[in-house]
Structure formats: structure tokens, C-alpha cells
């Protein structure tokens, strides 16, 4: 099922676009759906958001050519505020239609706990834990070809024990795998 998204932030082009969408919607039987582009929580946070945009783009608030949002109202509006934007029938219907969207969502199993972590392919003769330990051992040998210093070995053993106790060897194997893939592809990877 499709809906035509309508917004109103007081930008001049929104009205003709909205009218065009509503005309298409009538021809195709597609109902309107009113939304609000939200970039902050409360109306009074507009100035702080404007300052954040300046920080992100390296500009000053006084710069007339800096990036800024046209229009107003980029916050989480209440239902009453959304209905009050426009009294037209199409807008009012569009404000009611999010309930239609909500009714179409299949929530079966949505709130059940699921482990979506990918499984790392473990070589035969190993468990997730023993392969993790082997990978750490091999990594230490690569890092210290002349022999692993005792303090580094103790630290590695301590950290492995914590990771194993927390049940995270599989996670670390998956992360190591995609980091190694990124390095082979010439993609920069941080130290962490």
C-alpha cells in the first residue's frame, strides 16, 4: 500500500509540490500521509540546531552563505500541532492516516528477543572459544615475531578471559573478519 507524504515547514515550494502530489493521489487512489521532518525534539531547540549546523560545516552563525534549513518547525510536533498546520480536508485526512500505517504493521515477533549476530565460520576441530584463542595467539606472534613479552602475554590472557566470560568470542571473530577484509580492500581502519 502506498501513501503520498505531505510536509509543511513554510517553504514556498512545498505548497505547489503538495498540490501536485494530491492531484496524482486522486488519480491513482493514493491517500495522503502527513509527516514532519524532525531534527530536534522541541521548538525552542531551533537555535541550538542552527549552531550545530555551523559547527558541522565549519561556518559562523553570522555567515550569510552558510548552510541552514529553510522554513521552520523541524521538531517533534504534537498531534494537535500537526492538525493545526492546515485546515484543508487533504491535510486533515493526511494527519489521520498514520493510524492506517500503524494498523498495517505486522508486529508478530517484533518484540521477541532475537540474536541477529552473524555466526563466524569456525574451522573443524575448533570451538568458537578455542578458535578465538588461536587467532589471538597467531596475532600476538605476528605482532611480536621475536617472542611475546611476558607482560603482553599476561594482558592478552586477561583480556581473553574477560571476553570469554562475557560470551563475546564470536563477536570479536566477526569484527576481526570485517576489519581484515577492509584492510585487504585498502579501506582505512582505526587502531581500536
Euclidean distance between CA atoms 47 and 141, whole angstroms: 54
DSSP for residue 44:
G
Residue with the larger pLDDT of the pair 40 and 111: 40
DSSP E strands, the chain = 4-6, 32-34
Give the closest residue to 173 by CA, choosing from 113, 141, 130: 130
Q: Please give the pLDDT value at position 51.
A: 96
Mean pLDDT calculated for residue range 155-180: 96
Q: For 74-95, how does the pLDDT look when each residue is reduced to its tens digit (9 = 90+)? A: 999 999 999 999 999 999 999 9
Q: Please give the pLDDT value at position 33.
A: 95
Q: For 51-61, how does the pLDDT look when each residue is reduced to its tens digit (9 = 90+)? A: 999 999 999 99
Q: Yes or no: say if 66 and 57 are a contact pair by the CB < 8 Å rule.
A: yes
Mean pLDDT calculated for residue range 146-150: 96
Q: Yes or no: say if 130 and 138 are a contact pair by the CB < 8 Å rule.
A: no
Residues of the chain with pLDDT > 90, as a percent, come to 84
Euclidean distance between CA atoms 134 and 140, whole angstroms: 10
Q: Yes or no: say if 22 and 32 are a contact pair by the CB < 8 Å rule.
A: yes
**pLDDT value at 175 more than 70:** yes
What is the per-residue DSSP string for 138-162?
Answer: HHHHHH-TT---HHHHHHHHHHHHH
Give the closest residue to 56 by CA, choosing from 65, 68, 38, 44: 68
If pLDDT is split at 50, 70 and 90, which confidence band does 110 have?
Answer: confident
Mean pLDDT calculated for residue range 129-156: 96
CA distance from start to end of the chain: 45
Q: Please give the pLDDT value at position 75.
A: 97
Question: Is the Cα torsion angle 129, 135, 139, 140 positive or negative in sign?
Answer: positive
Mean pLDDT calculated for residue range 47-76: 95
Q: Please give the pLDDT value at position 192.
A: 63
Q: Please give the pLDDT value at position 190.
A: 85
Euclidean distance between CA atoms 124 and 175, whole angstroms: 20
Euclidean distance between CA atoms 148 and 131, whole angstroms: 19
All domains of the chain in start order, with CATH: 4-104 (3.20.20.140), 128-184 (no CATH)
Q: Please give the pLDDT value at position 69.
A: 92
Euclidean distance between CA atoms 88 and 191, whole angstroms: 56
Amino acid at each position: 500500500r502506498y501513501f503520498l507524504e505531505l510536509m509543511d515547514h513554510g517553504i514556498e515550494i512545498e505548497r505547489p509540490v503538495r498540490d501536485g502530489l494530491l492531484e496524482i493521489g486522486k488519480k491513482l487512489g493514493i491517500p495522503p500521509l502527513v509527516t514532519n521532518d524532525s531534527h530536534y525534539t522541541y521548538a525552542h531547540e531551533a537555535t541550538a540546531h542552527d549552531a550545530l549546523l555551523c559547527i558541522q560545516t565549519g561556518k559562523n552563525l553570522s555567515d550569510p552563505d552558510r548552510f541552514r534549513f529553510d522554513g521552520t518547525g523541524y521538531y517533534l510536533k504534537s498531534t494537535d500541532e500537526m492538525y493545526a498546520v492546515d485546515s484543508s480536508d487533504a491535510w486533515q485526512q493526511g494527519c489521520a492516516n498514520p493510524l492506517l500505517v500503524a494498523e498495517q504493521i505486522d508486529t508478530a515477533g517484533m518484540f521477541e528477543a532475537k540474536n541477529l549476530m552473524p555466526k563466524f565460520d569456525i574451522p573443524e576441530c575448533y570451538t568458537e572459544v578455542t578458535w578465538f584463542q588461536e587467532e589471538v595467539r597467531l596475532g600476538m606472534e605476528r605482532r611480536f615475531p621475536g617472542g611475546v613479552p611476558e607482560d603482553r602475554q599476561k594482558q592478552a590472557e586477561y583480556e581473553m578471559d574477560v571476553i570469554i566470560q562475557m560470551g563475546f568470542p564470536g563477536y570479536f571473530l566477526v569484527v576481526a573478519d570485517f576489519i581484515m577484509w577492509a584492510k585487504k580492500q585498502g579501506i582505512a581502519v582505526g587502531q581500536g
